[in-house]
């Protein structure tokens, strides 16, 4: 028995790509997008100072809101949730940029501080110094490394080691005195070249 094509028209219309019926969540998110997208982009741009990054942040906030829609208690206040998400994501982006900047600066500083080309005397001296540093007690060794290799301030070292700045200063002083004595005795024992 032949089937009339006209009876299938409503079903075919629903199966067209992009024409599927929207759920309530999709309709509400679409409305949120239409009403608040520009304002959210302006908010993120004011925080970040970069319109392109701001758009990425807003889209990420919208995506998080869409995927977490069931956790939003008061749907009528979803625009406040979106704004908070944009602010939090913007702050996270700023923190990441600061950390990346520090890491890049440290890498650049390390490149600048690369040792000169290898020589016998330089190599031997460095080896003696690091041998002497390895013989220091753990706290003094850590202080020496953080201060002279990582080039950190005493306050930063104190924070990392969870002690006072005075403790860091005394550990550095003791370590320098031990290193000076050790290296002086090694120098005296070394034959002339």
What angle in degrees, to the nearest 10, is found between the helix axes of 154-161 and 165-189?
A: 100
Q: Determine the Cα–Cα distance for residues 174 and 181; give it in Å rounded to an integer.
A: 11
Q: In the chain, where are the structural domains located? A: 8-112, 120-189
d(CA 44, CA 57): 7
CATH topology of domain 120-189: Arc Repressor Mutant, subunit A (1.10.10)
- Nearest-angstrom CA–CA distance, 70 and 129: 62
- Compute the distance between CA of residue 175 and CA of residue 154 in angstroms, rounded to an integer: 14
| Cβ contact 182:132 at 8 Å | yes
CB 42, CB 86: distance < 8 Å: no
Query: Which one is predicted more confidently, 128 or 178?
Result: 178
pLDDT tens digits for range 75-111? 777 778 888 889 999 999 999 998 988 888 887 777 6
Comparing 37 with 13, the larger pLDDT belongs to 37
pLDDT level of residue 8 (50, 70, 90 thresholds) = very low
Least Cα distance to 94 among 46, 36, 141 occurs for: 46
What does the pLDDT read at residue 166?
A: 96
CB 143 within 8 A of CB 186: no
How far is it, in rounded angstroms, from Cα 154 to Cα 162?
12
Supply the pLDDT for residue 16: 46
pLDDT of amino acid 110? 72
Query: 15: exposed, middle or buried (C-beta count within 10 Å: 0-12, 13-18, 19+)?
Result: exposed
CB 62 within 8 A of CB 84: no
51 burial class (0-12, 13-18, 19+ CB within 10 angstroms)?
exposed
């Amino acid at each position: 028995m032949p089937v009339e094509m006209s009876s299938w028209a409503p079903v075919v219309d629903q199966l067209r790509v992009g024409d599927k019926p929207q759920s309530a969540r999709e309709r509400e998110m679409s409305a949120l997008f239409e009403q608040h997208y520009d304002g959210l982009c302006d908010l993120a741009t004011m925080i970040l100072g970069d319109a392109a990054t701001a758009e990425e942040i807003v889209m990420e906030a919208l995506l998080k809101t869409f995927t977490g829609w069931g956790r939003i208690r008061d749907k009528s206040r979803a625009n406040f949730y979106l704004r908070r998400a944009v602010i939090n994501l913007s702050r996270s982006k700023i923190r990441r940029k600061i950390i990346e900047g520090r890491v890049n600066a440290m890498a650049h500083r390390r490149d600048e501080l690369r040792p000169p080309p290898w020589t016998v005397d330089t190599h031997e001296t460095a080896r003696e110094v690091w041998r002497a540093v390895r013989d220091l007690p753990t706290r003094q060794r850590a202080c020496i490394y953080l201060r002279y290799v990582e080039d950190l301030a005493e306050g930063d070292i104190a924070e990392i080691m969870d002690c006072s700045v005075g403790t860091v200063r005394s550990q550095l002083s003791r370590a320098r005195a031990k290193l000076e004595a050790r290296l002086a005795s090694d120098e005296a024992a070394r034959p002339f070249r």
